[in-house]
Each structure stands twice: as structure tokens, then as C-alpha cells.
């Protein structure tokens, strides 16, 4: 099953969760590909680290331009980074790349950028992209103070787009978060989707090892 992975915010572990999902599906003998339609921030080598991790976790070696159709140099909000480069992010181009990946794999995990409503252009955002692809959504919740509100608001936005929240993943990004278990329990009681896993805090996260979490 193809999935669209979004998060309660930026830097909350969407790539880690996406890679864990890729490893989990690969463990079932499926051909898997990770896709990051839009990435903001490139290293000196012109490679985005999130994209590199997704490619490493994939079992199908798809062309970089299909895995990541739009790479923006600066780590900024995508529509702003695109404006500064004199570029425009095209939904049509992303859809073509996605369909090409679907022809090569059994499972495509599409990782969004930032949170669910991050603008990708003047009149459209990441939520519009998820709706155009028509994919079930997996929500990565960065476990820190405020995450309950962020998660519930994101669920409302997903439902408002006519999409299904297929599940959510709790990522313990703050090892010192007070009452973390109580927060997870509160989310389980309020999110209308199953908890797919709880990713432990690790200094050097291991997506393959977390596939079973």
C-alpha cells in the first residue's frame, strides 16, 4: 500500500519513520521506493540528506530525479526557497514522477515536506499534493510539549481534504519529555487511526532497527 507520510512539524522524524516503513515492507519481500517530491536544503555535493536516506532504504534503484523531482538549495519554506531561485514547483511534474515510481515498485512511500499545510506555491500546499495523489496518510507525531494539539489539528486537516488517516507514529524526539506515556495515551484516545509504532530516542537513529518498533 502506497502512503503519504506527513508530520506535526518540521524536524520531527518524517524521514526516519518513512525509512522504517520502507524497511518493514521490504522485510515482507516487497519492492519498495521512497519518494521526497520536494526537498529544501542541499549539501555541498548537491544532495539532500533526507533523499539520500530514503534511497538507501529503498530496494529499487530509481533515478534521483524521480525520487526527488524538486531539490531547493536553501533550507527554507519550499515556496520561499523556490522564489529565491526563480523556480516554481510543479504538481504535474511530481505526479508524473510518482506514477513512474509506482510502475517500478510494489510500495511507494511519499514523504512530505515540513507539516501537512506547508505551502508549495502561491495557491497550493502539501495537503493539496496528498489529495492529488489520493494516498492514505501516516502522521508522524514528534513527542514534545504541544504535540497533542498539533496532531489533532493535522488530523482535522487530513479529513478536511477527504483523505484517510491510515495511522500515526510516535517519535520520541525529546528524551526528557514529561509524561510521554500519558501523552501517547491521550493521542491514542483522540486520533481516529491506529498507533503504528513508537520510535525510541536514539543518538544515532537506526531506521532498519526501528522497523519493528
Active site residues: 36
What phi and psi values does residue 38 have, to the nearest 5 degrees? Answer: -130, 125
What phi and psi values does residue 111 have, to the nearest 5 degrees? Answer: -95, 125
Cell, residue 166: 491510515
Matching residue, cell 503519504: 4
Buried b (16+ CB within 10 A) or exposed e, 6-38: bbbbeebbbbbbbbbbbbbbbeeeeebbbbbbb
57/148 Cα distance (integer angstroms): 29
DSSP strand E in 46-144: where?
A: 70-72, 107-111, 137-142
213/208 Cα distance (integer angstroms): 10
**Cα of 36 vs its chain's centroid, Å:** 8
Amino acid at each position: 500500500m502506497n502512503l503519504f507520510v506527513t508530520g506535526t512539524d518540521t524536524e520531527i522524524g518524517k524521514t526516519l519513520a518513512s525509512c522504517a516503513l520502507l524497511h518493514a515492507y521490504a522485510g515482507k519481500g516487497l519492492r519498495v521506493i521512497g519518494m521526497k517530491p520536494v526537498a529544501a536544503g542541499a549539501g555541498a555535493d548537491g544532495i539532500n540528506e533526507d533523499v539520500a536516506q530514503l534511497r538507501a532504504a529503498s530496494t529499487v534503484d530509481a533515478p534521483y530525479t524521480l525520487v526527488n523531482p524538486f531539490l531547493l538549495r536553501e533550507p527554507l519554506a519550499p515556496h520561499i526557497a523556490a522564489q529565491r531561485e526563480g523556480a516554481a514547483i510543479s504538481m504535474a511534474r511530481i505526479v508524473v514522477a510518482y506514477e513512474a515510481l509506482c510502475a517500478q515498485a510494489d510500495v511507494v512511500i511519499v514523504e512530505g515536506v515540513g507539516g501537512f499545510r506547508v505551502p508549495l506555491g502561491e495557491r497550493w500546499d502539501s495537503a493539496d499534493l496528498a489529495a492529488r495523489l489520493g494516498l492514505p496518510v501516516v502522521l508522524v507525531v514528534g513527542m514534545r510539549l504541544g504535540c497533542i494539539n498539533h496532531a489533532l489539528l493535522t488530523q482535522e486537516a487530513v479529513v478536511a481534504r477527504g483523505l484517510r488517516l491510515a495511522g500515526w507514529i510516535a517519535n520520541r524526539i525529546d528524551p526528557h519529555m514529561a509524561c510521554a506515556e500519558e501523552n501517547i495515551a491521550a493521542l491514542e484516545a483522540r486520533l481516529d487511526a491506529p498507533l503504528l509504532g513508537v520510535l525510541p530516542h536514539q543518538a544515532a537513529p537506526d531506521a532498519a532497527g526501528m522497523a519493528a518498533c
